[in-house]
């Protein structure tokens, strides 16, 4: 297994940038991938967010197993972390607004009592690469762009984008690196495309994917690749070799691995979630 690495220098810089911007906002939307919510979190972010209200936004819910997503939402809520699942490609403004209204209830009531009802809630999105930050931002903003402080000679002010009636979104989402010292976490991130392809051995990740579907949804695997019951009994390595032949790649199991990874990422084997909440937390 190739060792998948993360880079402490990048991580430290990303955290510093996020920390700087944190002071500008009322609330943070922490985006994680609904197919691997814990593995796609940055563990250091939790500490950073201790003093800031935040909402966990599980993105790509359309690709994840809906039952497991419901369990994750219950899990986070039970830990006192407000959570909502979205398909970032389709906005979901009202679901997020509703959650913000609940989380910031006291603050908004106070503002209202002081007659400050025009003021928008300042929001920042944070998440690991590829989690869907730009997609969500674009849909929430819906071309309602407000650009300020962009004149030469003026210190470039932070730009805010209006989203719906409630939010002002920081124009640049915070990017954090996932932390994957754990090889299992690395494989999940690689399978879903959250980390660079060059960081892993394709066959390892394809084998991991095959094992996941064998365990959780063998029917989807069997149907997608038209496998016989006997072939379904093969070890993962033998199954990969069999699929390589079946796909017409002869001995080139790297190409077959690539195809399998692509199929899984494109949900061609159906919706899936790679991790379930740990017992006791629900
Ligand atoms: N099906 C589905 N695809 C999504 C969703 N959100 C994002 N995507 C896709 O995921 C990919 C990455 O989305 P981006 O919005 O670029 O992610 P990002 O977090 O801004 O990525 P970086 O710029 O690398 O930090 C794109 O191909 C999106 O179309 C979602 O909720 N559902």
At 59-77, the pLDDT tens digits run: 999 999 999 999 999 999 9
Query: What atom in ligand 1 is closest to the CA of residue 175?
Result: 25
Q: Which helix (DSSP H) or strand (DSSP E) does residue 175 occupy?
A: strand 174-175
Ligand 1 near 63 CB (within 6 A): yes
Q: Is residue 188 part of a domain?
A: no
| Percent of the chain scoring above 70 in pLDDT | 89
Query: Is residue 142 located within the same domain as residue 242?
Result: no
Whole-angstrom distance, CA of residue 152 vs CA of residue 149: 9
Ligand 1 near 192 CB (within 6 A): no
Where would I find the beta strands (DSSP E) of 101-164? 121-127, 145-146, 160-163
In the structure, what pLDDT confidence band is assigned to residue 42 with cuts at 50, 70 and 90?
A: confident
The more confident residue out of 230 and 170 is 230
Ligand 1 near 133 CB (within 6 A): yes
Buried b (16+ CB within 10 A) or exposed e, 107-145: ebeeeeeeeeeeeebebbbbbbebbbbebbbebbbeeee
Measured in Å, residue 280 CA sits from the centre of ligand 1 at 31
Report the predicted TM-score, pTM, of the whole model to 2 decimal places: 0.90
Q: Is residue 99 part of a domain?
A: yes
Q: 120 and 114 in contact (C-beta within 8 Å)?
A: no
Query: Is residue 167 located within the same domain as residue 50?
Result: yes
Query: Is residue 64 located within the same domain as residue 158?
Result: yes
Q: Report the number of distinct structural domains present in the chain.
A: 2
The parent domain of residue 226 ranges over 201-265
Q: Is residue 93 part of a domain?
A: yes
Ligand 1 near 132 CB (within 6 A): yes
- Among the listed residues 51, 37, 48, 46, the one whose alpha carbon sits nearest the alpha carbon of residue 86: 37
Q: Is residue 282 part of a domain?
A: no
Q: Is residue 276 part of a domain?
A: no
Helices 253-265 + 236-246 axis angle, to 10: 90
Query: Is residue 215 located within the same domain as residue 250?
Result: yes
Measured in Å, residue 235 CA sits from the centre of ligand 1 at 34
Last residue of a domain, one of 175, 192, 210: 175
- Quote the longest CA-to-CA distance of the chain: 73
Find the DSSP H helices in 104-233: 105-113, 133-141, 183-192, 202-216, 218-224, 229-232
- Among the listed residues 29, 30, 37, the one whose alpha carbon sits nearest the alpha carbon of residue 71: 37
Query: Is residue 127 located within the same domain as residue 218?
Result: no
Ligand 1 near 69 CB (within 6 A): no
Ligand 1 near 129 CB (within 6 A): yes
CATH classification of the domain holding 72: 3.40.50.300
Whole-angstrom distance, CA of residue 63 vs CA of residue 48: 29
| pLDDT tens-digit map of 165-216 | 889 998 888 888 777 778 888 899 999 998 877 778 999 999 999 999 999 9
> Quick one: CA torsion of 52, 162, 176, 127, rounded to 10 degrees?
90
């Amino acid at each position: 297994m190739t060792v998948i690495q993360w880079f402490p220098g990048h991580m430290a810089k990303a955290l510093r940038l996020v920390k700087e911007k944190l002071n500008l906002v009322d609330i943070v939307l922490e985006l994680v991938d609904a197919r691997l919510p814990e593995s796609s979190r940055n563990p250091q972010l939790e500490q950073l967010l201790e003093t800031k209200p935040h909402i966990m936004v599980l993105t790509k819910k359309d690709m994840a197993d809906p039952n497991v997503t419901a369990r994750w939402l219950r899990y986070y809520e039970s830990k006192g972390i407000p959570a909502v699942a979205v398909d970032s490609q389709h906005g979901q403004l009202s679901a997020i607004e509703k959650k913000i209204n609940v989380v910031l209830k006291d603050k908004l009531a106070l503002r209202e009592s002081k007659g400050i009802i025009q003021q928008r809630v300042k929001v920042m999105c944070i998440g690991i690469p590829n989690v869907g930050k730009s997609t969500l931002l674009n849909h929430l903003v819906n071309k309602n762009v407000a650009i300020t402080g962009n004149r030469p000679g003026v210190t470039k002010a932070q730009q805010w984008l209006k989203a719906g009636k409630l939010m002002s979104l920081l124009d640049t989402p915070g990017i954090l690196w996932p932390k994957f010292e754990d090889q299992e976490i690395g494989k999940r991130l690689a399978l879903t495309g959250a980390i660079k392809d060059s960081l892993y051995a394709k066959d390892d990740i394809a084998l991991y994917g095959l094992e996941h579907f064998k365990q959780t949804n063998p029917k989807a695997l069997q149907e997608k690749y038209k496998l016989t019951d006997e072939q379904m009994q093969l070890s993962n390595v033998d199954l990969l070799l069999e699929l390589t032949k079946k796909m017409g790649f002869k001995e080139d199991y790297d190409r077959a691995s690539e195809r399998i990874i692509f199929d899984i990422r494109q949900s061609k084997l159906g919706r899936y979630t790679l991790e379930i909440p740990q017992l006791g937390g629900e």
